[in-house]
Amino acid sequence: MLDKSVPYAGFYMHRKAGTEHKTFAIPDGYRFAMYDDGDEKDWARIETSVLEFDSEFSALLHFTENFLPYIDELKNRCLFIETEDSFKIATATAWWRVIENERRTWMHWIAVDPEYQGLGLGKAIVSRIMEIMTDLDGDTDFFLGTQTWSYKAVSIYKLHGFEPTDEKVLYTDRNHSYKKAMRILKKLRK
């Protein structure tokens, strides 16, 4: 869950092609599942549970506008973790963005329902989505956007070869706060 008691600053992370990353198995009692029709409601519930959205309606609207137009891609790129009774509790998406006319692979919307955090599911879903990204797009540079409110997740991303970046090609409103984000994260590590 986002820790909104921490000052906010958004930033990007970059995993360079060929960078080794650790692999984490999914814990017993859970399984991976790819997106299927109707799963957008579960995605909205999970993302709202970690405070990424103020309401499930807002989350569902975002999903509908940004992912559903690419339904064939979505079924290969949107991952969930579910319990043995098929209740979805975590999600991550292997997506892309076009920057300077180049399509780049991005890890998007990584979230684990707060009731299931601390069980190793975050590490497992990031490991699996990295495999999916590599299978679909090759061992290329990978990116993700995050924020200081997700400082616990930043350590998981680092295990998978991601490092904070101030790359000029990524300069958008989020990365303008890179230096502020690094100052905040440094204080949190003390």
Among 14, 6, 81, smallest CA distance to 42 is for 81
pLDDT one-digit tens code per residue, 61-113: 999 999 999 999 999 999 999 999 999 999 999 998 887 788 889 999 999 99
| pLDDT value for 111 | 97
Output 134 or 98, whichever has higher pLDDT.
Answer: 134
| pLDDT value for 180 | 92
pLDDT one-digit tens code per residue, 1-51: 889 999 999 889 999 999 988 899 999 999 999 999 999 999 999 999 999
Any bridge partners for residue 107, and if so which? 94, 144
CA–CA distances in Å: residue 188 to residues 62, 151, 179, 184: 31, 8, 14, 6
Q: What is the CATH number of domain 10-189?
A: 3.40.630.30
| pLDDT value for 174 | 54
| pLDDT value for 171 | 57
Contact yes or no for 80/90 (Cβ under 8 A): yes
DSSP the chain: ---TTSPP-EEEEEE-TT------PPPTTEEEEE--TTTHHHHHHHHHHTTSSSSHHHHHHHHHHHTGGGHHHHHHHEEEEEETT--EEEEEEEEEEEETTEEEEEEEEEEE-GGGTTSSHHHHHHHHHHHHHHHHH-S--EEEEEEGGGHHHHHHHHHTT-EEE--GGG-STTGGGHHHHHHHHHHHH-
| pLDDT value for 166 | 86
Contact yes or no for 50/113 (Cβ under 8 A): yes
| pLDDT value for 99 | 76
pLDDT one-digit tens code per residue, 144-188: 999 999 999 999 999 999 999 987 656 555 566 888 999 999 998
